[in-house]
Amino acid sequence: MIRFINYNPECYFVIVKDYIFISIFLAFVIFVSITPGGNPIIPTYAIDENATSNSILNIRLSSIEGSLLSNGTFLITPDPFQKDQSFLITDNGNSDKDKSEGLISLFDIASGNYIITQKGTSGNYIPSTISKIVTINQTNPVSTASFVNTLKQLSAQKYTLYQPSSMYTYNAKFVCGSIKGDEGPLRPGYYDTDISIYNKQKYPLNISWNVVSNNGKSSNSILMTLQPEKSIGIICKDIKKMINSSPSQRDLIEGFVILSVDSTTIKSNNVIAEPGLQKSSFTEEPVSIQVFYTANALDTLPHEILIDKIVFQILDDPTGKIPSSFLNTDLGIITTAQLNKISNENSKIKNMLATEFNLTESELATISTSIKDTDVAATTMIDDHAISLSRLAP
């Protein structure tokens, strides 16, 4: 059954007027929720709930009283997005996913170890001079670095504060490989480097290290834990592995090994340490680092060799390339010999003549020689070497 509704012009006008008002209101709501650059405003309360990344790096900046501070600027090394340079992030900058003051969040962080250094802070506060090491991986996808700043007028009088991650940085020069010519300031020879690190403390220390080769990029960092009063070493084999160089590569490589020691400690005067922080048990650098350099004239260790002396005569030379004074007279050559190996002495003579007088294989076959005497002696290779020891300071 069809039901007809009477047309009322006044009612239709009211409906149209309401529709126009609702449309204008919705357009205004959409407009005010858009920034001048065209990006939607992200509510801070929804960041953690809407985050889709499994890897997040958080940076928290607060005063010594516990209040959050704005205008924090931090340098992250290496760049968590590019991995080949440093990355500068500012609180509430374009890359900061948390728009609240004092909190910075970066999403989609690549796995690795990162050093975070504070570069700026609010006007009346002093930036922390101690960097932090954080690790992002599958088992630890979310990591937070906390920085505490003190007021300028109070820092010199009342507080002496060290962050939970006190950083000491060492730069160790390395030289690995062989020099065969005179292309550099170093003499021809084989060079090796051994970096030894000793933990002088009675608690574990975190050490991050990477390699910067001359005219090359910086490698990724490796984070390791050095147990109390224990030592470890970094040698050329470890350095080559860091820069993806083959262990059998003999060419010379040079550069620096950058070591950052995280003492994980806090020291204070008239300040009560927060829970979980330890008072410092040292007043100087936490580790002792020494670098041992060696330079050898030989790639291999000195060893005994056999010397084979052969006395012979050249009976006939149809080629005419050998001087006549060399014919039918005693001549001698000295070559190396191998123990318990059969050697062809006549072949040694022919090869020497071919090299000395530029003889072809067919010409060499026409030359007649005779061996008069042979003698074997043992000797030791002499290796000219030097060593050097250097102690590093942070």
Provide the pLDDT for residue 304: 64
Range of lowest pLDDT (3-17, 91-105, 309-323, 337-351): 3-17
For residue 11, pLDDT beyond 70: no
pTM: 0.43
pLDDT digits (tens, 9 = 90+) for 239-262: 998 888 876 677 888 999 999 887
Assign 3-class secondary structure to the chain.
Answer: CCCCCCCCHHHHHHHHHHHHHHHHHHHHHHHHCECCCCCECCCHHHHHHHCCCCCEEEEEEEECCCCECCCCEEEEECCCCCCCCCEEEECCCCCCCCCCCCEEEEECCCCEEEEEEEEECCCCEECCCCCEEEEECCCCCEEEEEEEEEEHHHHCCCCCCCCCCCEEEEEEEEEEEEECCCCCCCCCEEEEEEEEEEECCCCCEEEEEEEEECCCCECCCEEEEECCCCEEEEEHHHHHHHCCCCCCCCECEEEEEEEEEECCCECCCCCCCCCCCCECCCCCCCEEEEEEEEEECCCCCCCEEEEEEEEEEEEECCCCCCCHHHECCCEEEEEEECCCCCCCHHHHHHHHHHHHHCCCHHHHHHCEEEEEEEEEEEEECCCCEEEEEEECCC
* For the chain, domain boundaries: 52-155, 167-299, 304-380
355 pLDDT tier (thresholds 50, 70, 90):
confident
Q: Name the more confident of 287 and 166.
A: 287
Provide the pLDDT for residue 44: 34
Range of lowest pLDDT (6-20, 32-46, 127-141, 333-347): 32-46
Task: Give domain 52-155's CATH number out of 1.10.10.10, 1.10.730.10, 2.60.120.260, 2.60.40.10.
Answer: 2.60.40.10
185 pLDDT tier (thresholds 50, 70, 90):
low
Domain spanning 167-299: which superfamily? Answer: TM1070-like (2.60.290.11)
